[in-house]
Structure formats: C-alpha cells, structure tokens
Amino acid sequence: MKIALAQLNYHIGNFTENSEKIISTINKAKKENADLVVFSELAISGYPPRDFLEFNDFIIQCNEAVNEIAKHCIGIAAIIGLPTFNPKEKGKPLYNSAAFLSDGKLVQLVHKTLLPNYDIFDEYRYFEPNSEFNCINYKGKTIALSICEDLWNVQDNPLYNINPMDELIGQKPDLMINIAASPYNYHQTKIRKEILKRNAKKYNLPLFYINHVGAQTELLFDGGSLVLNSESEIYDELKYFEEDFKVYDLKEIETKSVINKNQEFSEIESIYKALVMGVRNYFQKLGFKKAILGLSGGVDSAVTASIAAEALGSDNVYNVLLPSRFSSEHSVEDSLKLVKNYGMPYDVIEIEKAFSTFEDTLKPYFKGLPFNIAEENLQARTRGVLLMALSNKFGYILLNTSNKSEAAVGYGTLYGDMNGGLSVIGDVYKTQVFELAKFINTNKEMIPVNIITKPPSAELRPDQKDSDSLPDYDILDEVLYQYIEHRKGPKEIIAMGFEETLVNRILKLVNISEYKRYQTPPILRVSTKAFGMGRRMPIVAKYLS
C-alpha cells in the first residue's frame, strides 16, 4: 500500500480554499499512484475553529465540503479531519472526527476520544468523546486511525484513564495513522517525537503522523509530519514551517533502511522561523499586505522590523521613527542604518510639537506636580496616536514590539507602545530577543551592532535605562520563566538561589499587571505558556500582589 501524507496550511472557515487545496492534493496523490492520502485534524474547517463550532451552519458547510471532496476519491481513498454532528440525544452536540473517503463517498467516521482541555486547548467545550473503537479495513490492511491527543496518553503522568490504541490493538491492525493539529512551541518538536516513538514501540506498528502547518492568529503549527517504522525509528519527516507532500510505500518502511532527513534547528532558529511564518500568515489570511511599526533604535523594534521584512518583503514594512526631546542621537542613527540595510521605507516624525501641546493642555489640570510617569506615558501615547493614524489612513497593520519580559511586569504604556494589531515578540523574553538579533546577523550585519550592545532604554526621561526600573534581564527572565512556564511559587524560586525581596517584587509586578495584558493584541505563541488564550488569570486577585 502506498500512503501519501499531505501537510497543508489551512484557513479557518475558508471552505472553498481548503476544499480546493485538498482536492488538488488528492489528484496529485493519484498521479503518484498513492492508494491513500492523509490530511490533518479538522482540515476542512481549519484548527482551532473555536466558537464557530456553535453555529450549525458552520458544521453543515464542513459536511457539505467533505461530501464534495469524497466525489474525487475514485481509485484512491482519503482521510480528512472535520467536525461532525453527534446524532445521540445525550452528550455534546459534536464530534471531532476523521472521515474515511473511498469509492466516491464517506465510508466511515472515526471520532476523537481524548479531548484536551488545558493551556490553549478547549476541545471538551464543544466535542463529545468517542466511546466506540473500530479500525478501518482497506485494500487488505487494517488501519488503527486516531486523532492527535489520542496517542499522547503514553506519557509518564497520563492525563486520561483510557488509551484508544489499547482498544484498537485487539483488532490486529497493520499500521497506525494519526491526524493532528499539534501547535508549535520551542520544546514541542522533541516531546512530540518522543511520544510518537513510544507508540510505535509499545504497539510494534509503523506509524504515519500528519500535522498542521501554518499560523492561525496566535497559534503556530510547525508541520514536521513523521513516518516511523515498527522499530520506533523515524523513517522520514516532512518539512518544518512549510507545506509538504510525500508518498510512502508501506512495505519499504519496514524493509528499507531509515531515510530520515534529520532536520535540526537550534531553539532560536526555530523561534525565528515560527515568528516569520506567524507574521506572514496573519497578513495573508486577513488580506493585508503592509505593516507599520515604530522604530525606536532599540533591539525589540529592530528584531520586529527584521522579522516583518523577511515575512512580508522589505518594501511592505513601513518604519516610523518618532524621536522626542529625550531620544539619543545614536538611536536615530542606528534606526536609519537598519532601514537602509533592509531597504525598508521610513519616515522621521518629531513628536515634540504634539507632546508639548498635550503638556500645555494638561498643565492647568496637573496642578504643578513634578514630571513623572504621566509625562513619560504621554510621550508613548503620542507615538501611539501617530502610528494608529497612519495605520488607519493607509490600511496598514501596526506591529506591536513589546517583548515578554516587559509584558510580564507591566513595563509598557497602555494605548501607547502596547498598541498594535499583532504582537510579534510578545512571547519572547528580552534575553531571547538579543539572541534573535544575533541570529539575524549570522551571515551579515543587518541589525547594527550598537543596537544589540547598548543598554536598553525607553528614553522617556533623561539618561533613562531599563535597569533603573527592572532587575537585570538575565535574572528577571529566569525568575519569570520559573513562575510563568513552570508555575513555581515564590518559596520554590527563592530555594533556587534567588533573593527573596527580588522574587516577591517580580511576582507582584506580574500579577498587578494582568489588567494591561487583557488589553494587548494577539501574541504569537512560541513558548509552553504564552500570555493570551493559554494563560487565564483573574485581574482582581490578591495572590502574590
């Protein structure tokens, strides 16, 4: 049997485009003499469709699309993910299903059993878990078909009381197929491979695994679909961060030597590729072409501009330099070097006149109080007003340039530098931003070295440095990482050797800044715990604040 894996980039709710892409790939698989072509989880709808699943019309269109696709499955079979109605009177109204299409029709449905309901996942909100287990018989082979999480309960601390494969193995399958939508984070590739190897080893079967690729707002899918032999060796893997397609001979997987390409990216390279893909797909799927951002002369805006230039093309990234009375001369010079290195369009707009007007307007109402954070934030908000005006006038999307360290401790101005339609590096700690800058300069100095080496500063008051308000980023980021990603409490972090007063101060800053993060743009997710849909904290809480 020849099996094709189709690793495609879907668009949520774009049934016409998704169907056309699937049908085109089915025809391609036919030409390459495949017997079966496999598409990923919820391929028809795109993943995750979220509350679109509450609309009957949305589900009906998914099912109409799969019936149309089935007509093209003559001389070939296909496995495709989609939401389907639960015909039973009890339980959730939908299943997360895999459709087996053959002979021009839908032959069999397999439903997802293990429904993740943690971090970014919320599947039990919509779907009923499967309770009936049947393999698929096709061309003399018995296929154990499962959906994403169904293979993940082999971890050392299992979340569920059942393993779907334990139920299917009694039917003596010849192979396993798993269709997935496994989002990227910079640890996920290694974990995913280990999970799949455990399954191949435990059940002594070859395994075909197909993953999504592409970005769906903040969620990034890295692809990297896999084929493993029954010895739990990775026989081959598809590309990362790109669409891919390949046909495999089942017999050769068991008899030929491993041909694994062994793609290896460093952690920082994979983050870079993920962010580039995230920006590119966000614009493509919304129908926008051009971005705007405020270029400050600092490393955050420089890295954001560089990622955007790679994703959209340099001509489509409009950089606006917005110097104030406190901006250093080298910040402007460094920014000009950057835009010229990339050939990006730019303008320099002095904010002094607008800022002074705000100051004069507010002077009678500030009651003679000394210059403080109000005037500092007023500068950031002046910049925000100008950037949003240009965004509105020309139809650009404003890119937010805040990093995760700043977002964590509230070191940013609402309606100022926290503006934007997309936060590019909001899940990247400051120390990682510096690593990204160095990676971008691997072959050529695109980001001026002075931007990377100078002390970070918001430049909102004379001689200001980030270190005036925050601990050194090396220390801050490690404390934040232990608290946010690993959910360690203050006593645990202090026991790691961090100073007690410092830890308590940092954690308090994180928790009292929750209201700010509720008002930020969507953040491209690259870590195991990003701000946004995967981290749900109350605003009016007392814990550690």
Q: What is the pLDDT of residue 461?
A: 64
Q: Contact 218/224 with Cβ under 8 angstroms?
A: no
Q: Which of 112, 197, 273, 404 is catalytic?
A: 112
Q: What is the pLDDT of residue 167?
A: 97
Q: Contact 23/228 with Cβ under 8 angstroms?
A: no
Which residue do the tokens 């849909």 mark? 533
Q: What is the pLDDT of residue 317?
A: 98
Six-digit token string for 327: 């901006």
Domain 2-260 sits in CATH at: 3.60.110.10
**In the chain, domain spans:** 2-260, 270-466
The DSSP output letter for 232 is: S
User: What is the spatial distance between Cα 52 and Cα 14, in angstroms, rounded to a whole number?
Assistant: 12
Helix (H, G, I), strand (E, B) or coil at 454: coil
- Same fold for the pair 2-260 and 270-466: no
Conformational region of residue 343, where left means phi above 0, alpha means psi within -120 to 50, and beta covers everything else: left
Fold of 270-466: Rossmann fold (3.40.50)
List C-alpha distances in Å: 283 to 60, 217, 317, 369, 386. 28, 10, 12, 44, 22
Task: Mark whether 112 is an active-site residue.
Answer: yes
Task: Mark whether 148 is an active-site residue.
Answer: yes
Q: Which of 148, 237, 404, 406 is catalytic?
A: 148
| pLDDT tens, position by position, 242-295 | 999 999 999 999 887 777 666 779 999 999 999 999 999 999 999 999 999 999
Q: Which of 41, 149, 237, 459 is catalytic?
A: 41
| pLDDT tens, position by position, 168-189 | 999 999 999 999 999 999 999 9
Q: What is the pLDDT of residue 339?
A: 98
For residue 512, the cross-strand partners are none
Low-confidence stretches of the chain (pLDDT < 50) are none
H or E stretch including 155? none
Which residues touch 158 (CB under 8 Å, ≥6 apart)? none
Which residue do the tokens 């002979």 mark? 103
